[in-house]
Amino acid sequence: MATLLRALSRQNLLSLRLLGINSRMSMTSSRGYEEMKQYWEKNRALSRPLSPFLTYKPHLVMSMSLTHRITGVYLTVVVSGVSVLMLCLPESYPYYLQMIKDLSLGPAILTGMKYSLALPVAYHFLNGIRHLAWDAGYGFGKKDMYTSGYLVLALSLAISSMMVFML
């Protein structure tokens, strides 16, 4: 605990020094502050937007990256939520599975529910492999990125369909 407090206090002192504030809390001009000021003045003079990615035209790679993050969060929430729910419920899993079967939901609703679980799993898995290939330095050409993107989308649909209809 003491080590943690010392590390935090050192980090605070370091951050204050980087901001140009010495230990007595008086402002000093620093080179970093001046460089940052020049950077923002140059951006204002060139009329550069504050967040340029917001003005980009959406494209496949950008959309798939965002979808990968969303499916990761979705899967984390669903898996964690179902796990906690199953631990807290008084009966066993087969009891609740039978309750769902007794609801006599239509095949369209059941298929939609299955896809809502299978498609994010398949997509996140396959797109994760694509990202691993990028980490290894493969597939950075524009044509390669779009080809692998469409391949991931097609395989995600095919694999999730197999999961829904064969399991």
Alpha carbon 66 to its chain centroid, in Å, reads 7
List, by residue range, all CATH 1.20.1300.10 domains of the chain. Answer: 57-166
Residue 15 has a pLDDT of 57
pLDDT tens per residue, range 136-157: 999 989 999 999 999 999 999 9
Assigned CATH class of 57-166: mainly alpha
Residue 16 has a pLDDT of 52
pLDDT tens per residue, range 39-91: 889 988 998 877 766 777 888 999 999 999 999 999 999 989 988 998 999 99
> Is the confidence at residue 95, as pLDDT, over 90?
yes
Torsion sign over Cα 132, 75, 63, 118: positive
**Per-residue DSSP letters for 23-67?**
TT--B---HHHHHHHHHHHHHHHTT--SSGGGGSPP-HHHHHHHH
- The b/e string for 81-114 (b: 16+ C-beta within 10 A; e otherwise) is eeeeeeeeeeeeeeeeeeeeeeeeeeeeeeeeeb
pLDDT band of residue 93 (cuts 50, 70, 90) is: confident
Tell me the average pLDDT across 29-48: 85
